[in-house]
Structure 1
Amino acid sequence: MASGQEHDAKFAAILERSYRQTAEFEQPIVKPSWTFPLPFVAFGTSEESSRGETCWGPPPRTLAELRMYALSWAIRSKPDWRRKAKDATIMEKWREEATEQQITLPKYEKLTKNMINFTLTELAAYSELANNPLGLEAGPFDAIWYSDKLITDDLAQLLRTEVAKLEDIPDSEKDWHPGSHDQVLDLVHPSLYPIMYGRTIASTTNTTVAVPYEKSWKIWLSDDINAHCLSEKYSWLPSDFAISSNKPDGVAEARLVSPYINNLHPTTHQQLYCVIEQAIGAFVPLFERVLSQINGSEQDLLREWQKDEVPGGSGRIKVKYGFGTFIGFDRKYVGLRVPCIWASGMRDRGEFETNDQYLDAIEILPEAHEEDNGALKRTFVPYSLRGKTIQCIVKLANIHLTPENKEYAGGSWHVEGMLNERIVASAIYYYDEDNITESRLEFRVTTSPPVYHEQDDELCSKVLYGMERETHCLQSLGSIETKSGRVLAWPNIYQHKVAPFSLKDPTRPGHRKILAVFLVDPSIKPVPSATTVPPQQSEWALRALLEAQQDPRSLVSRLPLELIQAISAELEQVEGGRYLGRREAHEVRTRLMAERKVFLKAREGTVALSFNMCEH
């Protein structure tokens, strides 16, 4: 008869094959229409949880791999890093510095020789994926891209000149963002004059715009989340831009297809329209890089994360797909993507006199492959926007500091928009700054809970993933300097926030100015846009009426003056109709922002779920 040990091994092998086949062949009943991951959509149900919690992100990366990313980013942030990476002497110096700088760290925080060597040899892959003529560079983590060369000096100056027309208005008319303490000046903001479901009229049907809801969402969204991430009241209004099919590797040509950009008058700011078209054309190569690294449905991504070759979604850390834990009422087998820190079962803290002794007892730590194995290139599945019509939401805003108000406290963690707006990526051009300290944009991501390596083994989860009991399943992805002239793009599945900054010289004012473009998922059916939704600004309608009344070729000029005056008075005072006056638009914005604050609060507690280790 076979020994008990052999029997256990055979049983484990059977369970492992069953687990892998389930991961490989299970398909959702209805596949959603989107290709790219969204921050509002569940990635699946946690197989590691006996409670079957909804997962709102990929499996977490090990801290070891995140430290490898940090080392790589520190090197790639150096001037002329690409040339230096080809110099064997400099590479050896970097290797020595990386080793020396972690001497005082505990062993579970140190990068191994393999990790350092993998990171250094991977630099060649980063160089290959970049674009030298356009200055495209990979940022601190996958799918974050930037360039300091995309926008020419002439275009930047033209942007500053044209935006000055929006800034040069009486103080009483300036739109300081609510709650910003008169620091954030909104010049063009999508929360003003948004789509109002059930009220905003679509010109193609002459009926009100309906919430774009998909039946398949019921599978991917739980009922308690629907109420928070899907707005049934408001939506930001994008404009459509046709992207040229020429110059496949260069700056694209973008042409506005829609009649207007929301909150930017097409006649008054005609030149600014041209600048925005050129800027969006320049953003296209960055957007393509971002989309190429998140290309694939959630189910495709999940299957990859569950394979040996791509543990945790990357392949940098060696995998050990062995015994896991029997959990839940169905006693489902869970495989381990990385080795447990204990070779022969969890050690109890009570066995050791000090915490240092407990940590020193750790027997196994993650290990990387000896050198670059193509992990970075495997994440890159080229996606082109050339020849497509894309939908973009445009925003222009400034941050102003004064000697009386000289510190910007920083922003809050957030993603852009809500589910119905379908924003898949963001790009920001930092086109002007003066007299401010270094400013950075920080990133983090929501993950699923880590695999239980053994029941209630909190130390293992802390050492491997940086997650402890009752902490949110979030991982930091690093930050990047947002210096003047830089264009930065990233996927909307990453949360981001502006880090604090202040005046360099506290005796005089300073500012930072941005052009932001939010890209609607280009793989889906177009959402309602400025192509199908006429302007809702009553002042625009009034201006058009008065201009038509002055034009002898217009039929409006034949109307009696009394009728023109009556229509004008109605446009200025109307509420609840097709058009909004400025006062009502601000009231709508207040309600829209309140709704999104509820979403952000709910998301913090639900999407970024807490890592709770069950007592089985």
Structure 2
Amino acid sequence: MSYHRRSSVTLPQSATLDERILGLHPPGAMYKSGFEYYNTVVEQRMRRMSSAIRARSGWIEALGDADTRAGWAKEAKEQSLTDLELCYVLDELAYFASLSQPGNDIRLSAVDGVWISDLLVDLETTEKLKDYTVILKRMPSCHKDYWNSNPKNRVLNLIDPSLYPLVYSRSKLLRPPSTSPQAALAFKASGESPGTLEKWREALSGADDTNGSKYYLPTPTDRFDSIVSNYYSWLPSEFSVNCNGAVEITSYINNLHPFLPMLEQVVTDLVRPRGDRLARRLGSYYKSDKPEPDMDDYEYHDEYDEDIDEWKKNAKIMHPHPKSFVAPERPITPYTLYSRQLQAVVRMSNIELTPNCPRYRGDSWEVTARANERIIATGVFFYDVSNISRCSLQLREPVCGYMFGVEQYDIRAVVEMYGINDHRNEELRLSQNYGNIDINDGLCVVYPSIYQHQMSEFKLANSSKPGHCRMLTFYFVDPATRVPSTAIVPPQQQEWWFEDVLASEPFCNLPHLILDGIANRVDFPISLDEAKRIRKR
């Protein structure tokens, strides 16, 4: 029920996976538009059936049980699926099952393209992560970073990538790149100042990163300005993956003084092969007893427009039937993340509930990052979930009105074929829901960046005790491209820099009042208050 993105690029059989990705998604804002196709009502019905089955425990083993399949067939009839549609769903499920490896907990979720695991990160690493969280939470209250600066919101950011991002007009460029987190921390406030995005492009135009790849920066020719930022960019960290899949962090994590071995182990567990997306199925058409008017038979376009409008108004909308399922071809070149350099942005956040604030109201719908940040997938580890009611990660994909390529008189067909009308306000609904992932303690989820996501509402399970949902998130940069990272942008936190200043002569002997005055007059590094103002822009 998924599909391959279509491309006019023809690649040789010997092309590597990186070359294939770049051929399908050349650098630019279109990379993250997500505005490609919309599923028909028939497809949505089949998707719901497939998702409902995949959400059940042991569905792979149940595929071969005749009684279970008969029960699924009964459910399908109740959901108005035809025999042909059910056959397609079952054949596709068999293909999905073939992607799972015996003894491996990594599995396709109830949402297409989303993989989950309950046992991916071992207990020892999870407990270490919980211990480090306690250390981070001990920060002074004035430094605690609540989302929207509202403690009642209950979301505490321990690591927020939107704080101290790459600011093209302010950030420094470090050359040559640092090769370790400790080395990067020694270069606080160092480096050259390009000053503009154009100067950043010029400075990096002939430069290679530590992996020998060219850097990507947005250009004036990039489309969809609303999803490209020409001012800011998240700063990913560098992760080196060896031939066995073990991960080493080779640059600092933005907004975090290093406690690196724990995060390295989590990324090691997350680096796993991803499933392929599947081929699109269906089309749509009109059917009428009367022949469709032919434009060549008309002398005036106005007359033709009136007749074709009338014909389509009275024609019956034919919902298409699926063809037989055909498993997609697997990539010629196996795609592995081993023995290569990865970039990932790190976020760490807690949702904390108390008897006085017992409910979390949920997130708004959002898309991960901006197009210039080249985020291709998001991995979330729910490492500590305790005393909360059922909650879920909800996923949907946006569509764009112009993608249908229809005239005004085709609106009825589009609305009926794709089910996009919102009956509450009689407007077109420009998104399609893909489903929910139930959240539990220890769950790992990886989903593609084209999905919009939202955390559902939840509350305390036992209202007399506190509860929480704590998560560690990695936003993975497309491995076929490179963006400026913490390897070439030194730390920008004024407080980190000021620690070194206070330890040196003559500043260590000055009164605090004078030191505060000096800090208030320093333009770079950036103060926490200014970093929060930048985040709001």
**TM over 0.5: same fold?**
yes
Paired position in structure 2 for 1:464: 417
Helix, strand or coil for the counterpart of 1:185? Answer: strand
Paired position in structure 2 for 1:413: 365
Instruction: Tell me whether 1:125 sits opposite 2:77 in the alignment.
Output: no
Paired position in structure 1 for 2:210: none
Distance 1:83 1:189 in 2: 41
Paired position in structure 1 for 2:473: 516
Listed one character per residue, the Cα deviations across residues 554-603 of structure 1 (whole Å, up to 9, x for unaligned) are: xxxxxx546774999379614553312333333333xxx33xxxxxxxxx
Paired position in structure 2 for 1:439: 391
Shift of 1:544: 3.7
Paired position in structure 1 for 2:346: 394
Instruction: Tell me whether 1:208 sits opposite 2:193 in the alignment.
Output: yes
Q: Which blocks of at least 5 consecutive residues in structure 1 are unaligned?
A: 1-22, 45-54, 103-109, 247-251, 294-312, 328-341, 349-360, 550-559, 595-616
- Counterparts of residues 290-439 of structure 1 (less than 5 Å): 292-293=276-277, 314-317=279-282, 345-348=311-314, 362=316, 364-370=318-324, 372-375=325-328, 382-439=334-391
Shift of 1:161: 1.0
Paired position in structure 2 for 1:168: 138
Distance 2:507 2:71 in 1: 83
Counting matched residue pairs gives 471
- What amino acid is the match of 1:177? W
Shift of 1:37: 4.9
Contact 1:230 1:420 in 2 (8 A): yes
Instruction: Tell me whether 1:282 sits opposite 2:265 in the alignment.
Output: no
Are residues 477 and 192 of structure 1, via their aligned partners in 2, closer, same or farther at CA, if it must alter by over 3 Å? same
Distance 1:24 1:588 in 2: 40
- What amino acid is the match of 1:400? E
Instruction: Tell me whether 1:42 sits opposite 2:1 in the alignment.
Output: no
Are residues 576 and 130 of structure 1, via their aligned partners in 2, closer, same or farther at CA, if it must alter by over 3 Å? farther
Paired position in structure 2 for 1:242: 240
Helix, strand or coil for the counterpart of 2:162? Answer: coil
Contact 2:380 2:446 in 1 (8 A): yes
Are residues 576 and 569 of structure 1, via their aligned partners in 2, closer, same or farther at CA, if it must alter by over 3 Å? closer
Paired position in structure 1 for 2:107: 137
Paired position in structure 1 for 2:255: 263
Paired position in structure 2 for 1:194: 165
Contact 1:114 1:367 in 2 (8 A): yes
- Counterparts of residues 536-551 of structure 1 (less than 5 Å): 536-545=492-501
Distance 1:410 1:483 in 2: 16
Shift of 1:542: 3.1
Helix, strand or coil for the counterpart of 2:121? Answer: coil
Paired position in structure 2 for 1:230: 228
Shift of 1:195: 1.8
Helix, strand or coil for the counterpart of 1:456? Answer: helix
Distance 1:562 1:231 in 2: 39
Are residues 80 and 208 of structure 1, via their aligned partners in 2, closer, same or farther at CA, if it must alter by over 3 Å? same
- What amino acid is the match of 1:480? I
- What amino acid is the match of 1:87? D
Distance 2:45 2:440 in 1: 24
Helix, strand or coil for the counterpart of 2:35? Answer: coil
Contact 1:434 1:511 in 2 (8 A): yes
- Counterparts of residues 574-613 of structure 1 (less than 5 Å): 574-575=520-521, 577-589=523-535, 593-594=536-537
Q: TM-score, normalised by structure 1?
A: 0.68
Listed one character per residue, the Cα deviations across residues 176-222 of structure 1 (whole Å, up to 9, x for unaligned) are: 1116534100111112222222221112173225536679955550x
Give me the CA root mean square deviation: 3.8
Are residues 381 and 437 of structure 1, via their aligned partners in 2, closer, same or farther at CA, if it must alter by over 3 Å? farther
Helix, strand or coil for the counterpart of 2:263? Answer: helix
Alignment equivalent of 1:254, drawn from 236, 247, 250: 247
Distance 1:280 1:407 in 2: 31
Shift of 1:453: 7.4
Paired position in structure 2 for 1:339: none
Distance 2:219 2:343 in 1: 22
- What amino acid is the match of 2:90? L
Shift of 1:398: 0.4
Q: TM-score, normalised by structure 2?
A: 0.77
Contact 1:391 1:522 in 2 (8 A): yes
Are residues 24 and 545 of structure 1, via their aligned partners in 2, closer, same or farther at CA, if it must alter by over 3 Å? closer
- What amino acid is the match of 1:196? V
Contact 2:396 2:452 in 1 (8 A): yes
Shift of 1:438: 1.1
Are residues 196 and 84 of structure 1, via their aligned partners in 2, closer, same or farther at CA, if it must alter by over 3 Å? same
Contact 2:173 2:193 in 1 (8 A): yes
Shift of 1:379: 9.2
Shift of 1:441: 1.1
Listed one character per residue, the Cα deviations across residues 249-275 of structure 1 (whole Å, up to 9, x for unaligned) are: xxx2110111x2111112xxx3xx111
Instruction: Tell me whether 1:80 sits opposite 2:58 in the alignment.
Output: yes
Instruction: Tell me whether 1:94 sits opposite 2:40 in the alignment.
Output: no
Instruction: Tell me whether 1:157 sits opposite 2:149 in the alignment.
Output: no
Are residues 315 and 235 of structure 1, via their aligned partners in 2, closer, same or farther at CA, if it must alter by over 3 Å? closer
Listed one character per residue, the Cα deviations across residues 384-406 of structure 1 (whole Å, up to 9, x for unaligned) are: 22111111111110011222322
Are residues 326 and 239 of structure 1, via their aligned partners in 2, closer, same or farther at CA, if it must alter by over 3 Å? farther
Distance 1:412 1:381 in 2: 39
Listed one character per residue, the Cα deviations across residues 373-428 of structure 1 (whole Å, up to 9, x for unaligned) are: 215x6699853221111111111100112223222111111112222222121111
- What amino acid is the match of 1:158? K
Contact 1:441 1:496 in 2 (8 A): yes
Helix, strand or coil for the counterpart of 1:578? Answer: coil
- What amino acid is the match of 1:573? A
Shift of 1:319: 7.4
Listed one character per residue, the Cα deviations across residues 318-363 of structure 1 (whole Å, up to 9, x for unaligned) are: 7779999999xxxxxxxxxxxxxx9x95354xxxxxxxxxxxx956
Are residues 171 and 569 of structure 1, via their aligned partners in 2, closer, same or farther at CA, if it must alter by over 3 Å? closer
Contact 1:245 1:386 in 2 (8 A): yes
- Counterparts of residues 457-496 of structure 1 (less than 5 Å): 457-468=410-421, 470-496=427-453
Alignment equivalent of 2:117, drawn from 124, 138, 147: 147
Shift of 1:276: 0.6
Are residues 176 and 325 of structure 1, via their aligned partners in 2, closer, same or farther at CA, if it must alter by over 3 Å? farther
Contact 2:28 2:218 in 1 (8 A): no
